[in-house]
Structure 1
Amino acid sequence: MEGAFRPNYLEKISPMKNGVYYTTLQHYRNGERIEKQSYKTQEKVATLLDTKDLPKVSSIDSYAFSHDEKKILLGTDLEPIYRYSRRGTYYVFDLMTKKSTVISEKKIQSPTLSPDATKVAFVYDNNIFIKDLNTGDTILITSDGEKNKIINGITDWVYEEEFSFVRAFQWSKDGTHLAFLKFDESKVPKFSMDIFGKRLYPEKHTFKYPKAGENNSKVSLFVYQLDNHKSKEVALGDDPYYIPKIKWSEKNHILSVITLNRHQNNLKLIFYNTESGQTKTILNEQDTTYVEVPTSLTFLEDNSFIWSSEKSGYNHLYHYSAQGKLKRQITKGLWDVTDFYGLNKVNKIIYYQSTEGKNTERAIYSIGINGKNKKKLSPKRGTNKAYFSADFSYWINQFSDSKTPPIFSLYETKTKKKLKDLINNHELKEKLTAYSIHPKEFSTIAINGYDLNMWQIKPSDFDPKKAYPLFLCQYSGPGSQMVSNRWMNSNDFWYQMLADKGYIITCVDGRGTGFKGSAFKKMTYKKLGEFEVEDQIEVAKALSKKSYIDDSRIGIWGWSYGGFMSSNCILKGNHIFSMAIAVSPVTSWRFYDTIYTERYMRTPQENPTGYDDNSPLNFAKNLKGKFLLVHGSADDNVHLQNTMRLAESLIQANKNFEWLIYPDKNHGIYGGNTRLHLFNKMTEFIFKNL
């Protein structure tokens, strides 16, 4: 049954400003409600909104409070565009008057309330609008928006995919200015793909997609002043190639801007002063490889800020003055800060997640902004994730390990006292006792001079005197992690079934993966697919020497970057791998987008051998084993072109292989029975060929 082993998760919660309450979106037979609940008692305090009282709103897909929490921005009928972007119908609901106002009769993107909640800015057809909620008037901020040419206030495809944000405009703290990015993608090459659907003729979907070495959008920064209705372009100097973040500081007139050069190894934090019109570079980080964009830029009242950086060799938190002078490194050690939850500005305590203790685990800590009085908040070893109240007085811990499905527990931060388990998934754990669950065995394996993290699943009736087929799973991309002590995902249940059928499943994170320091992660720079493939081949060789492994039956699979890897492994490692499955693989980094690819490879013009020496396209003649190639025809991320070119290379090398194309499916290959069909196909292929 679909979802039979899916754990229960806590409904998405939105902390309220006073730290005492939070809200959740609850689904009922006769509609949906936004309910206010108490952290301490976990009881419902009030129903803030009920869709049965809103005749035009049948469902709520998203909601957000105004700064004063007197209005709610509701999203409904949202339709996906790409990975994060959505367009839909939005309303503003006034909690005082109980009245709702539709922002636009047309489907819009990224509506955002002004700080005083009297206005809302949004994007429609690549232009920015501001609606006055008191008068109902809507004004046009930009007028040059045009599909596949100019985008205002919304990121282009590659920014959305690689910098992980869509809304490219922000209100100033006092609501007097609106900062926004403009993307001129007129010189970016177009990519098109057929959408077959059910019509007589397919539709052609065309969008701008910059492949490695090609033109990107020209991005510029503007600030719109509401009182005079004028926009001013901000001169950032040196014509920055990327602007991956804009954020207003605690000072109304200071806008912070992060810029990157094309190589992504020269990152600047720039302050723009709206009063003087001047810009100043506050911070500059450089590297011989690349610099990660910090996710934890947080301003204090004096406009000093918290910043994350890998400059020590691991990702840590730093406190800088408003002038960019380092005050102190807050966290230190041979481990990474993996999430920043925020700063309690009253007592100057920071809350974060890290790998301290073990890099395959996550723990929750607090520490003073002065770097003192560090405390571990999470009591159990495994994977911990935190959801804090607005004033950090309470927090909910999501805990799991490889043997424990997610447990959500409420804690009092100051006393560390657990108040209540909110969700424990005991029923799921009990249900699984009726099945043969094979625990993951965690260890390390010495490969190419490094102790690599590994887990292994063996059949429940494992007999060391028998020889079993070995099936490797991996992703292997830069900074990724597959070997972690957490609860099973859907693939893990598939691995359980395969183990039950007599396969040994193994996963190893090789060189270039994450959370073992930046040097380990960045050693694959300019040669993606070299060390990672060497490591998987050597893993297979090392394990093949075990008496309980049948060295003639070793397979590997992967999806996306993992498919790039599994393709390379069966071609370059044809002496050890007898079978491989590649789903949605990159087969040449020349086909992939600029931001991701050039971050690790530079451009094909600068590094042609790095692109070609490890491309599966150039090793098709080496195929000896059984190979299954899978792709979705509407993959806007890793284009079908990758699989088509590899298929052609294999055909011209007169190599036998199997392949399967899923019509109109994107990179995730899902919808209806699609995912079930895919895993049935892969399972049959494994049973037949391994």
Structure 2
Amino acid sequence: MKRILVLLFLVLCYTNPSVAQLKKVTLEEIWSSNFSPERLESIRSMNNGNQYTLLKSNPNNLFSAIEKYDYTSLQRIETIVSTEDNSDIPYFTTYLFSEEESAIILGTQVEKVYRRSTKGIYYTYDLANKQLKQISDQKIQEPSFSPDGTKIAYVYRNNLYVFDRITSNRTQLTFDGLENNIINGIADWVYEEEFYLVRAFEWNSDGTKLAFLKFDESEVPVFSMDRYGEDLYPSQTVFKYPKAGETNAKVSLQIYDLVTENMDLVSLDSPYYIPRLEWRNNPDDLSIHSINRHQNHLKLWSYNVLTKKLSLLHEETDKAYLKIKDDLTFLPDDRFIWSSEKDGYNHLYLYSKEGELLNQITSGAWEVTKYYGYNPETSVLFFQSTENGSINRDVYSITLKGKKKKRLSSKSGTNSADFSSNFSFFINTYSSANTPPIATLNSADNGEEINVILDNALLRTKLLSYEISPKEFSTLSVNGNDLNMWMIKPKNFDPKKKYPLLMVQYSGPGSQRVANKWNNDNDYWFQMLASNDYIVACIDGRGTGFKGRDFKKVTYKELGKYEVEDQIKAAEELSKLAYIDEQRTGIWGWSYGGFMSTNCLLKGNETFEMAIAVAPVTSWRFYDTVYTERFMQTPQENPSGYDENSPLNYPELLKGKYLLVHGSGDDNVHVQNSMRMVEALVQANKAFDWAIYPDKDHGIYGGNTKLHLYTKMTNFIMKNL
């Protein structure tokens, strides 16, 4: 009988993770994607609103296909195009339908240029006659259909071209494009990085005109990076990068008429940046965003190409700064929807076609975080917001008059929507800090769930056998504010023990790290640290987003001051907890977070014993114009703001253990930042650890790079904290 009971106990231990010994997450498992959740592939709604397409691909056997599915049944209806069905079609990784869905652009051999830009070999495929045509023999950028689908505009070597799908003729529209000098139709580095603009040309509604931006970079200072590679001699990457206070590209707006073949220069009222172009419903009316260098005075213009008349539709000012968004929507009658923080929170507004305010659509002490679109048949628009708490996101609908608001999502956490083209359905992707993504098909009318598309049941089951601790959300009273916080404790947490504390953060303007959503691989790293008896905590201090304009913009002209004060004070408050070892407090961050962790270790040298900084900014004088001057003005105007919070200026304050990491090929936060920090610490005779990853960019990835980096950081933490 005793033997039977022992065997029964062993069986229960094996099958019940709560009794059996749970496994610890390992770095090898994290970076081999063992815990990656299943995510819904990017879907594209068909014009009929009842069907959508997915790209299916397998790079191992060079198979790719575009497949059509039904929204309600989720069943595959047909394969639209496939490399298996047509041997002439090369393996493709991107696709784009023409407006009327009669043709597709297929992207092959696509390679990255900078963070958002790519170039590749592109083909056009006619669905009616199954004809495949190569748009260009060379790698091109941003091919885009004309509205009728007969033409494709693209950029090659900084010049704008048009390819005629019917005749196969290629017409070159500009001839002065030159690397590191003149760019036509593609944004320069800083517009791409900070305004999220890559394609800088737009077709009008009848396909007779192309509006595009020309960037004159001739006076922008050059930045260069060595590339070590595998050759005998290193090569160099050279590009124009305007650092804070330096000369930006001169940007002009031009319009090419494909009928008359005339090129017109549009004279704007002293614009400094032109971050957005959008044609209105009338094919002769173009809307233009312009903003001054301080980015606190935004103008929305309307330009008529026939009369050459330029009129001001709307303008907005702010004592601090304004950020360019993509919420502008022109309704069929040319009224337009616009988002603004002018009442203290980001909300949606309706304006007449002449720019007169008609009404505020949304309001309240919460933020609209995403605008999804407008259904002209029902006069209802759809958006995502923080109304259910700043760490949560929900999907809502509301009328143009701001009436009949409905919450369409039902679970507390982060909900995001992908609507069908006629706004009949939406795919809701839900997750929370402790729930992997779940995708469902829902009715856009009332949010009713129709089908479950994916639920990550396999991942949830797998994680049951690992030491996974829940994220605990709370607020922490710091410097007169209740700051959002999460904490991960060891699975076998004992409140009578003392644990070392690792604080993680980013802290950049408008950012958020304390969010009720399923995050990325760093969360598994935090779980691994927790399983080794560390407590990991994250606090979003002043300057972060989604708690209103004033909370976010308090850091204006003082990046690295209030955010650092909040992290230091938060560490002090957490150290008062009975289960925190106040002599073992560390902080970690990447990019802006690395700037923060470095400053915290120096300015908070009585509070923090250890810090890791990955790819940090060490002086905002080294960073680009658009981002830095938005928050700091120029170094010439605000020298104290730049220097008093730069860790380069007080390396002698270092007392704790410091690890500094950078990729030598970082085109965003240049390795210059870390090299200057190294020199400052050397001259202050301070001991520290550092690592440079050759040719790696701001993400520091590729092959075993991430595994190596996180192994180094883990060992550093376990040795020094």
Q: Distance in 2 between matches of 1:488 and 1:429?
A: 14
Q: What is the RMSD of the two structures over their aligned residues, measured on CA atoms?
A: 0.9
Instruction: Indicate the residue corresponding to 1:175 in structure 2.
Output: 207
Choose which of 568, 580, 586 in structure 1 pairs with 2:611.
580
Matched, 1:420 2:451: yes
Choose which of 55, 58, 62 in structure 2 pairs with 1:25.
55
Look up the equivalent residue of 1:327 and give its one-letter code.
Answer: L
Contact in 2 for aligned 1:297/1:308 (Cα 8 Å):
yes
Instruction: Tell me by how many angstroms 1:139 deviates.
Output: 1.1
Choose which of 13, 16, 38 in structure 2 pairs with 1:8.
38
Give aligned pairs, total: 689
Choose which of 156, 166, 172 in structure 2 pairs with 1:134.
166
Instruction: Tell me by how many angstroms 1:55 deviates.
Output: 3.4
1:510-659 correspondence to structure 2 within 5 Å: 510-659=541-690
Instruction: Tell me by how many angstroms 1:98 deviates.
Output: 0.5
Instruction: Tell me by how many angstroms 1:41 deviates.
Output: 1.1
Q: Distance in 2 between matches of 1:599 and 1:124?
A: 31
Matched, 1:224 2:243: no
Choose which of 359, 378, 385 in structure 1 pairs with 2:416.
385
Matched, 1:185 2:217: yes
1:201-216 correspondence to structure 2 within 5 Å: 201-216=233-248
1:399-418 correspondence to structure 2 within 5 Å: 399-418=430-449
Look up the equivalent residue of 1:9 and give its one-letter code.
Answer: R
1:230-250 CA-to-partner distances (Å, cap 9, x unmatched) read 11000111x200001000011
Contact in 2 for aligned 1:57/1:76 (Cα 8 Å):
no
Contact in 2 for aligned 1:258/1:267 (Cα 8 Å):
yes
Contact in 1 for aligned 2:82/2:89 (Cα 8 Å):
no
1:193-342 correspondence to structure 2 within 5 Å: 193-237=225-269, 239-342=270-373
Matched, 1:685 2:703: no
Matched, 1:60 2:92: yes
Choose which of 659, 673, 677 in structure 1 pairs with 2:704.
673
1:564-604 CA-to-partner distances (Å, cap 9, x unmatched) read 00000001000010000000000000000000000000000
Q: Distance in 1 between matches of 2:496 and 2:447?
A: 49
Instruction: Indicate the residue corresponding to 2:196 in structure 1.
Output: 164
Q: What SS is found at the alignment partner of 1:540?
A: helix
Choose which of 121, 126, 150 in structure 2 pairs with 1:118.
150
Q: Distance in 2 between matches of 1:416 and 1:295?
A: 25
Instruction: Tell me by how many angstroms 1:45 deviates.
Output: 1.1
Q: Distance in 1 between matches of 2:517 and 2:103?
A: 38
1:244-265 CA-to-partner distances (Å, cap 9, x unmatched) read 1000011111100000000000
Instruction: Tell me by how many angstroms 1:366 deviates.
Output: 0.2
Q: Distance in 2 between matches of 1:492 and 1:637?
A: 24
Q: Distance in 1 between matches of 2:62 and 2:564?
A: 54
Q: Distance in 1 between matches of 2:410 and 2:576?
A: 40
Q: Distance in 2 between matches of 1:679 and 1:583?
A: 11
Instruction: Indicate the residue corresponding to 1:106 in structure 2.
Output: 138
Look up the equivalent residue of 1:571 and give its one-letter code.
Answer: L
Q: Distance in 2 between matches of 1:58 and 1:226?
A: 31
Contact in 1 for aligned 2:337/2:348 (Cα 8 Å):
yes
Q: Distance in 1 between matches of 2:565 and 2:635?
A: 22
1:309-364 CA-to-partner distances (Å, cap 9, x unmatched) read 11111100001011000010000001110011100011110000000020000000
Uncovered stretches (5+) of structure 1, i.e. residues with no partner:
none
Q: What SS is found at the alignment partner of 1:546?
A: coil
Choose which of 21, 37, 45 in structure 1 pairs with 2:77.
45
Look up the equivalent residue of 1:70 and give its one-letter code.
Answer: S
Q: What SS is found at the alignment partner of 2:650?
A: helix
Bigger Cα displacement from structure 2, 414-423 vs 261-270: 414-423
Look up the equivalent residue of 1:568 and give its one-letter code.
Answer: N
Q: What SS is found at the alignment partner of 1:639?
A: coil
Q: Distance in 1 between matches of 2:205 and 2:280?
A: 8
Q: Distance in 1 between matches of 2:145 and 2:83?
A: 21
Choose which of 95, 105, 114 in structure 2 pairs with 1:82.
114
> Are the structure 2 counterparts of residues 529 and 224 from structure 1 closer, same or farther at C-alpha, using a change threshold of 3 Å?
same
> Are the structure 2 counterparts of residues 415 and 442 from structure 1 closer, same or farther at C-alpha, using a change threshold of 3 Å?
closer
Q: What SS is found at the alignment partner of 1:52?
A: coil
Choose which of 118, 122, 125 in structure 2 pairs with 1:93.
125
Q: Distance in 1 between matches of 2:530 and 2:324?
A: 40
Q: Distance in 2 between matches of 1:628 and 1:477?
A: 21
Uncovered stretches (5+) of structure 2, i.e. residues with no partner:
1-28
Relative contact order higher in (CA < 8 Å, ≥ 6 apart) = 2
Q: Distance in 2 between matches of 1:521 and 1:385?
A: 23
Q: What SS is found at the alignment partner of 2:706?
A: helix
Q: What SS is found at the alignment partner of 1:487?
A: coil
> Are the structure 2 counterparts of residues 72 and 530 from structure 1 closer, same or farther at C-alpha, using a change threshold of 3 Å?
same
Instruction: Tell me by how many angstroms 1:544 deviates.
Output: 1.0
Choose which of 466, 473, 483 in structure 2 pairs with 1:442.
473
Instruction: Tell me by how many angstroms 1:414 deviates.
Output: 2.2
Instruction: Indicate the residue corresponding to 1:452 in structure 2.
Output: 483
Contact in 2 for aligned 1:294/1:309 (Cα 8 Å):
no
Look up the equivalent residue of 2:46 and give its one-letter code.
Answer: M
Choose which of 365, 375, 399 in structure 1 pairs with 2:396.
365
Contact in 1 for aligned 2:380/2:398 (Cα 8 Å):
yes
Q: Distance in 1 between matches of 2:445 and 2:491?
A: 44
Q: Distance in 2 between matches of 1:652 and 1:616?
A: 14
Look up the equivalent residue of 1:4 and give its one-letter code.
Answer: N
Q: Distance in 2 between matches of 1:396 and 1:187?
A: 47
Contact in 2 for aligned 1:650/1:656 (Cα 8 Å):
yes
Matched, 1:35 2:73: no
Question: Normalised by the size of structure 1, how large is the TM-score?
Answer: 0.99
Q: What SS is found at the alignment partner of 2:458?
A: helix
Contact in 1 for aligned 2:64/2:93 (Cα 8 Å):
no
Question: Normalised by the size of structure 2, how large is the TM-score?
Answer: 0.95
Look up the equivalent residue of 2:52 and give its one-letter code.
Answer: Y
Q: Distance in 2 between matches of 1:199 and 1:416?
A: 58
Q: Distance in 2 between matches of 1:362 and 1:452?
A: 18
Q: Distance in 2 between matches of 1:478 and 1:336?
A: 15
Look up the equivalent residue of 1:337 and give its one-letter code.
Answer: V
Instruction: Tell me by how many angstroms 1:57 deviates.
Output: 3.7
1:531-560 CA-to-partner distances (Å, cap 9, x unmatched) read 000000001111111111111110001000
Contact in 1 for aligned 2:408/2:446 (Cα 8 Å):
no
Contact in 1 for aligned 2:320/2:556 (Cα 8 Å):
yes
Q: Distance in 1 between matches of 2:260 and 2:363?
A: 48
Q: Distance in 2 between matches of 1:87 and 1:316?
A: 36
1:488-517 CA-to-partner distances (Å, cap 9, x unmatched) read 320010000101101110100000000000
Q: Distance in 2 between matches of 1:30 and 1:630?
A: 37
Q: What SS is found at the alignment partner of 1:648?
A: helix
Q: Distance in 1 between matches of 2:142 and 2:464?
A: 46
Instruction: Indicate the residue corresponding to 2:535 in structure 1.
Output: 504
Look up the equivalent residue of 2:387 and give its one-letter code.
Answer: E
Q: What SS is found at the alignment partner of 2:325?
A: coil
Instruction: Tell me by how many angstroms 1:56 deviates.
Output: 4.6
Look up the equivalent residue of 2:80 and give its one-letter code.
Answer: L
Contact in 2 for aligned 1:621/1:650 (Cα 8 Å):
yes
Instruction: Tell me by how many angstroms 1:183 deviates.
Output: 0.2
Instruction: Indicate the residue corresponding to 1:489 in structure 2.
Output: 520
Contact in 1 for aligned 2:57/2:93 (Cα 8 Å):
no
Q: Distance in 1 between matches of 2:519 and 2:313?
A: 44
Contact in 2 for aligned 1:12/1:24 (Cα 8 Å):
yes
Contact in 2 for aligned 1:319/1:369 (Cα 8 Å):
yes
